[in-house]
Copies of this chain bind each other. A is one copy, B any other.
Amino acid sequence: MSDQTIVAVDAMGGDHAPHEIVKGCVEAAQQFNIKVILVGDENQINNELSHYSYDQSRISIIHASEIITMEESPVTAIRKKKDSSMVVGLNLLKQKEADAFISAGSTGALLAGGTFLVGRIKGVERPALAPLIPNKKGFSLLIDCGANMDSKPSYLAQFAQMGSIYMENIMGIASPKVGLVNVGAEKEKGNQLTKEAYPLLEALDLNFIGNIEARDIPYGKADVVVCDAFVGNIILKYTEGFGLSLFDIIKEELLRSTSSKIGALLSKSAFKRVKNRFDYTEYGGAPMLGLQGLVVKAHGSSNAKAIASAIRQAVKFKEQKIVEQIEQKINQ
């Protein structure tokens, strides 16, 4: 492949597909030296594209007649819907016709498809899904939140390596601090998995800061937060639920008196800034690491800006040769 990054995008995935997806691709094609392949229903995509003027050499369409929905069983959907935008897109990655595939569709299907259709990097035991989660200072990479529910210690060691490479090269954090999620700071703490993973992580060429407790995560104590996918899923979804419910509670209480209603009005811009600090649209989506190429899970409610950010992320991923770096690190 050339130096130009080729990004395949699932035009049919997400709450605002295809409108916001296509819009984001057009915006990104103006900003970056890329080729975008929009995968999905040709008529719908052409209809969306007709609203914009753009460099036609940079955006092409590959038709896919099916869509995988959120309700379908991921594995079955990937197996049966061979002409879905997701399967067609992932196959482009597999056949090296694209460097990255971005989808705001079903997470489960993307994980299954990424694992079954796209090849793993040599030496990688399991690919991992690694979303960025907000903390007081910025964002941490939470790895793994993927499909692999029962992890081995060696998987966690590889997650730490892949996450560290990502945070250093894509997020620009020098010598990222790697923490192992555990129930206490001491080396001997934890369940069987974390107890066995600790010495493996310690032996790696990483900035391993040891165990971190869950209370440390929101303070940004670690840049790379390592855990198995079950725990990662709990942390990810708890962050979402707890944040939303706390804002609900604050709203409820603010609406209870006239003075606090006025207070809330006066504080509106401050609360907006708080929300902005959690804005996922800035940084693209969750990378699936360990595959031959980049698979990005964009947020289900992605708008054009989020899709453009995900494309920027893919460009950087190619430029920084993350696949090659992971392969080298894992096999050294």
In the complex where A260-B270, A263-B270 touch, is A150 in contact with B234 (Cβ < 8 A)?
Answer: no
For chain A, give the interface size range. Answer: 35 or more
Question: Is there an interface contact between B230 and A190, defined as CB atoms closer than 8 Å?
Answer: yes
Question: Is there an interface contact between B245 and A246, defined as CB atoms closer than 8 Å?
Answer: no
Which chain B residue has the least Cβ–Cβ distance from A191? B149
Contact with B along A199-243 (1 / 0, CB 8 A): 000000000000001111111000000001111011111111111
Question: Is there an interface contact between B257 and A269, defined as CB atoms closer than 8 Å?
Answer: yes
List chain B residues, Cβ under 8 A from A150: 191-192
In the complex where A192-B149, A253-B273, A273-B256 touch, is A246 in contact with B218 (Cβ < 8 A)?
Answer: yes
List chain B residues, Cβ under 8 A from A237: 213-215
Q: Report if A274 contacts B (CB, 8 A).
A: yes
Q: Report if A1 contacts B (CB, 8 A).
A: no
Q: How far is the CA of A316 from the CA of B263 in the complex (A)?
A: 42
Question: Is there an interface contact between B238 and A238, defined as CB atoms closer than 8 Å?
Answer: yes
Which chain B residue has the least Cβ–Cβ distance from A256? B270
Q: How far is the CA of A229 from the CA of B183 in the complex (A)?
A: 9
Which chain B residue has the least Cβ–Cβ distance from A239? B242
Could you tell me which residues of chain A, from 106 to 132, have a CB within 8 Å of some CB in chain B? none
List chain B residues, Cβ under 8 A from A241: 213-219
Q: Report if A96 contacts B (CB, 8 A).
A: no
Question: Is there an interface contact between A230 and B191, defined as CB atoms closer than 8 Å?
Answer: yes
Central interface residue in A228, A239, A249, A271, by most chain B CB within 10 Å: A249
Q: How far is the CA of A244 from the CA of B243 in the complex (A)?
A: 12
Question: Is there an interface contact between A245 and B219, defined as CB atoms closer than 8 Å?
Answer: yes
Which chain B residue has the least Cβ–Cβ distance from A259? B266
Central interface residue in A183, A236, A254, A257, by most chain B CB within 10 Å: A183
Q: How far is the CA of A277 from the CA of B250 in the complex (A)?
A: 10
Q: How far is the CA of A73 from the CA of B270 in the complex (A)?
A: 45
Q: How far is the CA of A211 from the CA of B93 in the complex (A)?
A: 35
Q: How far is the CA of A214 from the CA of B235 in the complex (A)?
A: 8
Q: How far is the CA of A313 from the CA of B235 in the complex (A)?
A: 31
Q: How far is the CA of A190 from the CA of B253 in the complex (A)?
A: 36
List chain B residues, Cβ under 8 A from A263: 262-268, 270
Instruction: Report, nearest first, the 6 A-B pairs whose CB atoms are least far apart.
Output: A263-B266, A215-B241, A263-B267, A218-B245, A214-B238, A260-B270
13 contacts across the A-B interface (CB closer than 8 A): A135-B245, A136-B248, A136-B249, A149-B191, A194-B230, A215-B238, A215-B240, A217-B241, A249-B274, A253-B277, A257-B269, A260-B269, A264-B270
Q: What residues make up the interface of A, taking CB atoms closer than 8 Å to B?
A: 135-136, 149-150, 181, 183, 190-192, 194, 213-219, 228-231, 233-246, 248-250, 253-254, 256-257, 259-260, 262-271, 273-274, 277
